[in-house]
Each structure stands twice: as C-alpha cells, then as structure tokens.
Structure 1
Amino acid sequence: MPVPPPEEEYAPKPEIGVGPWEGELPEGDHWDEELLADGDRRNVVDQYRYWKHDAIVADLDSKRHNFHIAIENWQHDMNIGTVVRTANAFLAKEVHIIGRRRWNRRGAMVTDRYQHVRHHPTVEDFVAWAQGEGLAIIGIDIFPDSVPLETYELPRDCVLVFGQEGPGLTPEVHDAALATLSIEQFGSTRSINAASAAAIAMHAWIRRHVFNQHV
C-alpha cells in the first residue's frame, strides 16, 4: 500500500511578488499599467514592483558599479547563469562571455533581462575591448604567480575574469592580465566552483570600493 505524502505537500505554496495595486493608481511614466492591474510576480526587489522593465534597467544603469565580469565559455560552462545572477546582485557594469555565444540561462533566474551581457568571440577581441575601455584585466585562478585576493588592492576600473570550470583560465587570458588572484582555501580540495569564486571576488570589490567609502 503506498504511503501518502506528508501533509506539508498539500499546503499551498506562498505566491511570489504582489497582487494588483490597491487604491488610487500612482502617476509616472515608469509604472506598468498591466502589472498595476494584474499584479507583479517578477523576481525583483520591492523598490521596482510594478515598474516597467525598461524603467528598471534605466535606473540600474544610472548607478552601476565600475567593475565588469568576464567568463570564458569554450565548453558551454553551466556556471554562467549563476555568475550573471550574482553580477546582477552586485550591480556589475557588464558581464562578458568569451568564446561560445550560447550559454545556459536557467541559473540566471531571469536576471539576464536586467544585466548587460556582451559577447567576445576570442580572447584577443576581449583584451582589445578591455584595453580600449581602460580597464585592468584581473584573472581569478590558481597559478604559480597568483597573489591572494584577500590582500590585493583591486582597482576601481577593472574586469574580473574567470575560466572554464575545470581547465580554468586559458594561458592567453593569464598573459593579458595585470594580475592573477587566488582565493585562500583551508580544506582538502584544490579549487572551488567557478560561480562561487566569482561571488567571492565580486564581494571583495564591493568591500573595497563601496563599503570603504562609508568608513
């Protein structure tokens, strides 16, 4: 006789977001009439509830941080979606995909609609773009010449580059980088997941250039 599922499975799951606007409708070009009427179930912070998509992007663009994120995508890396989601959370200027244009967007949780993503077919194309923008290329990987991220003074205008899960950064990116940084670890494994490394590095930039402004 089959065992019935626990009662928790019958409990209704809480709805995401908010329902239709209650009360007098607000005024302003940034409000979305359909969302006001039907509710806003998007994965956005409360500040942007009922806003038009383009209005949200424009507001984010007005206050994005000075760092960029790049990840090499030669083998269809499954981590890219998560990296994009984290870049959105820390308000990176742009995310750059080096190599294959296609990437799995599932991990981005629709945040790629609010985060600028640029494609570079080759390392050479990426390096030329970064140099033209005056951005320091900072690699994140374990090389004999890597220095600790924890003690390195991250430049304000930079692009943090992450390699393919497994192989890591290509020699071409390593050679083009102003510095290559490693993340201190204390366990038995040699490396950590690329998406996790990206989150740590982004937060290191935030601590250096955002929180220090208020100390």
Structure 2
Amino acid sequence: MLDIQPVTSFDLPDLAPYRTMRRHAEHRRQRIFVAEGVKVVQRLLESDLEVVSVLLPEEWLERFRRLLESRPEPRIPVYVAPKKLVEQLTGFSMFQGVLAVGRVPPEPPLDQFLTRPAPRLFVALDGLTNSENVGAVVRCCGAFRAQGLLVGETSSSPYLRRAVRSGMGVVFRLPVIETPSLVQALRFARSQGIRIIAAHPRPEARRLSEVDLTGDCCLVFGSEGYGLEEPILSACDEWAAVPMPPEVDSLNVSHAAAVFLYEAARQRGLA
C-alpha cells in the first residue's frame, strides 16, 4: 500500500536515511542503501529487493505509480517535495531529486554463492576504496554476464550511494558477498575448481589473450595505485595483463574490468 504524503518536517523518522546519507557506517549497520536517479530508482522498484521508502518531486510521482502499486511491501512511504527541498534535506545537489531507500539483501553462504551454471565467472575486488570505481566494475559485471561479485574487506561497499548510482542499479540483481577475508574466500573458491586469475600489470604476467577464460574462473582486480596485495596474489593461479605501450603503466580498474570481462565473453562465444 502506498502512503503518499508531502514533506512537512525534516524530522520525520522515515526521512532519517535521507538526512544521514553521509553516514555510511550508520546505513551499513541498518543494512540499507540509497538509490539516486530516475533509472536507478526504477530498477530498484523492478527488483526483488525490499523498498523501504521513496522521496521525489511531485512531477515524477505518476511515472512511478504503477511500479509502486505493484510492489509486495505492505506499506511504502512515498514522500513528495520540490527538488530544492530534497537537496536541502539531503545536503546534496541533484539532477532529478528522485531517491529511494532499499534494504541490502542477506548474503548467501559462500558455497551457495559459487553454485552457478558452468562455465562460472566471478569477479573479486581488493583494495578498491573509490565507490564510483566499485560501481563501474559492478556495471561491467552486468554487461558481460559475471555471475557474482566478491568484495574484499579493504574495498568500498557496492551499496554505497555513489557505487549504486555509477553502477546504474546492476547491484540489485548481482549476487554479492562482502567477505571479511578475501584471501580465504579465494582459497575456498579455488578448492571448488574455480581458477583464480589476477589482473596484474607486471612483466611476469601472461598476456590476457593467452589466458584460457572458457572454464570456471574468478577475475581479481586491485586498486589502480597499489594493485593487488601479496597475500591475494599468492591465492591466485595465474596473473594476466593487458598489453600496453611502456609510457602507459595501468588502466583505471573499471576499464581493466571491462577489457577482462569482454575477453571472457568473447572466448565463451558471448560477444
């Protein structure tokens, strides 16, 4: 049931997630995230994730009414306010002023997460602290049919607002595990017959085009500045790199992810 009401006070309890968008740890404790923008909010409403509330200018209400009315939640508070008021409430300048709060889904056990149709393809992230880069990698996962994302303990969450926005809501449909130990998760995946391949631009790495990506594998990406940590590299079966001229020493991680995932799709006859 829709509960449509104007914003009469910033102190309303339902508006707390919008007032606290800079408090990432608080949202993490509550297992909630903020979706921003018309397309991202639409994809949230079309997903199976729980929708907690919606905040938007009145002119967008009719566009979303059908989707809102089709939701399974017994009550969804929908707050209506002019865009300037939304910006005042959140403390952010916005293009459309359309927001929603969703519930982070429970994570599956790792063995269940890894149970996918063959050939399996996963992505793992180590040390990615820029949430927009994380979101861009998530978007690549959706574009090239990765079946799940392992996020290491030193990486930003894919459910941060900027990550959700830059990923265009792909995270709503992508299985994700935010693991307390990426090394242990990779070792377990390896024990389940999944080859662990590090994106590692070093002379000792093999050319990406020479690496067999047709079987079960997990592609591991690190930060552009520091690359992959030594314990992560030691958990990998092999290292692969995109050949580049000597004056270019690396790619942005999202660009590297796009290249690696496209190559996997190409080898599997999907591109």
RMSD: 3.0
Of the three residues 118, 133, 136, the one matched with 1:79 is 133
C-alpha change, 1:135 and 1:64, in structure 2 (3 Å) is closer
Cα-to-partner distance string for 1:51-73 (whole Å, 9 max, x where unaligned): xxxxxxxxxx9978621011113
C-alpha change, 1:168 and 1:203, in structure 2 (3 Å) is same
Of the three residues 203, 207, 213, the one matched with 2:266 is 207
Of the three residues 139, 143, 147, the one matched with 2:198 is 139
State the TM-score, normalized to the length of structure 1. 0.65
SS of residue paired to 1:180: strand
Question: What residue is the counterpart of 2:66 in the other structure?
Answer: 34
Of the three residues 149, 152, 175, the one matched with 1:98 is 152
- Residue 155 (structure 1) shift: 4.3
* In 2, Cα distance between equivalents of 1:65 and 1:109: 26
Higher strand proportion (structure 1 or 2): 2
* In 2, Cα distance between equivalents of 1:74 and 1:199: 16
Corresponding letter in the other structure for 2:66: E
Question: What residue is the counterpart of 2:217 in the other structure?
Answer: 158
Gaps of 5+ in 1: 1-14, 17-32, 39-60
- Residue 177 (structure 1) shift: 1.2
8 A Cα contact 1:77 1:165, kept in partner: no
Corresponding letter in the other structure for 2:194: L
8 A Cα contact 2:128 2:134, kept in partner: no
Pairing of 1:187-198 with structure 2 (within 5 A): 188-198=247-257
Identity %: 24
Question: What residue is the counterpart of 1:126 in the other structure?
Answer: 185
- Residue 74 (structure 1) shift: 5.8
Corresponding letter in the other structure for 2:149: V
C-alpha change, 1:189 and 1:199, in structure 2 (3 Å) is same
C-alpha change, 1:162 and 1:35, in structure 2 (3 Å) is same
SS of residue paired to 2:196: strand
8 A Cα contact 2:150 2:182, kept in partner: no
8 A Cα contact 1:74 1:99, kept in partner: no
C-alpha change, 1:211 and 1:126, in structure 2 (3 Å) is same
Gaps of 5+ in 2: 1-37, 40-64, 71-114
* In 2, Cα distance between equivalents of 1:68 and 1:162: 11
State the TM-score, normalized to the length of structure 2. 0.52
Of the three residues 104, 124, 146, the one matched with 1:70 is 124
